């Protein structure tokens, strides 16, 4: 068993060096230990160059129950990969939220090799490496076209940073459908939400909404419906089809369709585990995962349209449950206010979290794509 430092940190009096010790100290990680303790074995097995023995990979994928996982990730790893490799590569996959992982832990656990192949939600790295979260800041990408522009501008830097700073080889970047706003009471534009309690899923959504007078409340997805039902929140930001699947359309009446964030996730491999695979296996995975990524993005765009259609009861609802919600389209006034909120609230808050090095990164990569420059933080005396 390879030695490593534990995560989260153990008390100083109790050294933690093995994988099993790391799992003991990771709060809420009992199930993950069971699933992942053997996940380093494929890397060791792969060192037997030239062997015809099938390699069994262990994968931590996206969120359980959502289309990205059920229709794309799970079938790819359990069915498509063995077919492509004539059985030489096989994989077991467990959803991110059923592996016992927390969003803020994933980056570190892949870096350490506790999770050799796994998924990192960029919203979960805001406190550990906020620079990586620049791609999906709230309000940056109100539609798919802007998201693709941001991706093209930032991806090379993201891949390089993950490799050099964290020892993680980026193999695919996925997106969930956009996070949109469900409300229990009528409104005509975002300014009408002043004073309302709005469920958010990450801090940059709060940064975007505060200029509108909103009271942001960070609520776990598992508790979303209960909080809407009991009136603790007046509005909830989540995916359109996700909200439809859990029945949110039955508790809310109005739907604002501008994307706050998208839910970008990086699928990557621990550098040592990746390098231990045969070159042919690495080539196969890179090629196949490019196709999987493209399919996930195409589906996210379709799910975006389907979410609006289903929640509002339009004819385009083919797989969800038709609702009777009223769509609140993004007005010109909303667009202008969202852009101003991004410039004056979201971007400065991100820079505050990120530090001195991030303004040059933004201005070099993202400013040409967005037309918005970042003002470096004033130096402390």
Element (H, E) at 150: helix 144-166
Window from 7-16, 95-104, 193-202, 327-336 with minimum mean pLDDT: 7-16
Tokens of residue 238, six digits: 């989540």
Predicted local distance difference test score (pLDDT) of residue 47:
41
Mean pLDDT of 81-93: 94
- Two domains, one topology: 19-45+53-175+263-303 and 179-261+314-370: yes
- Do residues 247 and 225 lie in contact, with contact meaning Cβ atoms separated by under 8 Å? yes
Tokens of residue 7, six digits: 């995560």
pTM for the predicted model, two decimal places:
0.83
Report the distance separating Cα 253 and Cα 235, nearest Å.
10
Q: Which residue has the tokens 């002043």?
A: 194
Q: 3-class SS at 56?
A: strand
Element (H, E) at 217: strand 215-218
Predicted local distance difference test score (pLDDT) of residue 52:
64
Predicted local distance difference test score (pLDDT) of residue 65:
83
* pLDDT tens column, 261-313: 999 999 999 999 999 999 999 999 999 999 999 999 999 999 999 999 999 99
Whether the per-residue pLDDT at 32 is higher than 80: the answer is no
Predicted local distance difference test score (pLDDT) of residue 381:
53
Predicted local distance difference test score (pLDDT) of residue 307:
94
Whether the per-residue pLDDT at 39 is higher than 50: the answer is no
Mean pLDDT of 28-48: 40
* % residues pLDDT > 70 (the chain): 85
Query: Listing from the earlier edge strand, what are the strands of the sheet with 235-239?
Result: 215-218, 197-200, 235-239, 179-183, 254-256, 326-328
Architecture of domain 179-261+314-370 in CATH? 3-Layer(aba) Sandwich (3.40)
- Do residues 91 and 78 lie in contact, with contact meaning Cβ atoms separated by under 8 Å? yes
The per-residue pLDDT of the chain, averaged, comes to: 86
Tokens of residue 94, six digits: 């467990």
Q: How many CB atoms lie within 10 A of CB 305?
A: 17
Q: Which CATH number fits domain 19-45+53-175+263-303: 3.40.190.170, 3.50.50.60, 3.40.50.300, 3.40.50.970?
A: 3.40.190.170
* Residue 123: band (very low, low, confident or very high) from pLDDT cuts 50, 70, 90: confident
Q: Which residue has the tokens 């089809």?
A: 241
Whether the per-residue pLDDT at 50 is higher than 80: the answer is no
Window from 31-40, 88-97, 303-312, 349-358 with minimum mean pLDDT: 31-40
Sign, CA torsion 331/336/342/344: negative
What would the DSSP string read from start to end of 90-123?
EEEEE-GGGTT--TTTHHHHHHHTSSSEEEEEGG
Whether the per-residue pLDDT at 61 is higher than 70: the answer is yes
* Residue 380: band (very low, low, confident or very high) from pLDDT cuts 50, 70, 90: low
Which has more confidence, 98 or 236? 236
Q: Which residue has the tokens 């090629």?
A: 287
Spans of all domains in the chain: 19-45+53-175+263-303, 179-261+314-370
Predicted local distance difference test score (pLDDT) of residue 45:
44
Window from 106-115, 119-128, 154-163 with minimum mean pLDDT: 119-128
Mean pLDDT of 106-121: 93
Tokens of residue 37, six digits: 């303790």
Tokens of residue 260, six digits: 């706050």
What would the DSSP string read from start to end of 276-332?
HS-HHHHHHHHHHHHHHHHHHHHHHHHHHHHHHHHHHT-TT-SSS----PEEE---H
Please report the beta strands in 8-135, taking only residues with DSSP state E, as ranges in sequence order. Answer: 55-60, 89-94, 117-121
Predicted local distance difference test score (pLDDT) of residue 6:
32
Report the distance separating Cα 113 and Cα 118, nearest Å.
10
Report the distance separating Cα 311 and Cα 180, nearest Å.
12
Whether the per-residue pLDDT at 246 is higher than 60: the answer is yes
Mean pLDDT of 187-195: 95
């Amino acid at each position: 068993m390879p030695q490593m430092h534990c995560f989260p940190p153990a008390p100083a009096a109790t050294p933690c060096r093995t994988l099993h010790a790391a799992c003991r100290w990771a709060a809420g990680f009992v199930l993950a230990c069971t699933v992942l303790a053997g996940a380093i074995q494929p890397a060791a097995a792969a060192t037997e160059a030239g062997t015809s023995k099938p390699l069994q990979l262990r994968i931590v994928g996206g969120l359980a129950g959502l289309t990205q996982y059920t229709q794309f990730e799970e079938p790819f790893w359990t069915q498509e990969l063995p077919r492509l490799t004539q059985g030489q590569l096989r994989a077991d996959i467990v959803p991110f939220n059923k592996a016992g992982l927390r969003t803020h832990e994933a980056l570190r656990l892949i870096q350490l090799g506790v999770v050799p192949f796994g998924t990192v939600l960029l919203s979960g790295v805001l406190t550990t490496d906020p620079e990586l979260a620049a791609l999906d800041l709230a309000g940056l990408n109100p539609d798919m076209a802007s998201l693709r522009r941001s991706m093209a501008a930032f991806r090379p830097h993201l891949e390089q940073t993950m490799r050099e700073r964290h020892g993680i080889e980026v193999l695919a970047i996925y997106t969930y459908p956009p996070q949109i706003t469900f409300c229990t009471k009528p409104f005509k534009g975002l300014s009408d939400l002043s004073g309302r309690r709005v469920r958010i899923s990450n801090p940059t959504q709060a940064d975007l909404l505060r200029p509108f007078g909103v009271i942001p409340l960070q609520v776990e997805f598992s508790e979303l419906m209960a909080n809407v039902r009991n009136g603790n929140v007046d509005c909830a930001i989540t995916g359109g089809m996700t909200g439809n699947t859990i029945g949110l359309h039955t508790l809310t009446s109005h739907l604002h369709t501008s994307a706050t964030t998208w839910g970008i996730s990086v699928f990557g491999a621990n550098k040592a585990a990746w390098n231990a695979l045969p070159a042919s296996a690495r080539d196969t995975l890179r090629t196949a995962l490019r196709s999987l990524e493209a399919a996930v993005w195409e589906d996210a765009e379709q799910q975006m349209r389907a979410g609006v259609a289903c929640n509002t009861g339009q004819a385009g609802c083919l797989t969800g449950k038709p609702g009777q919600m009223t769509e609140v389209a993004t007005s010109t006034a909303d667009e202008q206010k969202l852009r101003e909120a991004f410039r004056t609230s979201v971007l400065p808050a991100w820079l505050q979290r990120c530090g001195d090095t991030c303004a040059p990164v933004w201005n070099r990569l993202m400013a040409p794509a967005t037309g918005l420059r970042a003002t470096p933080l004033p130096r402390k005396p």
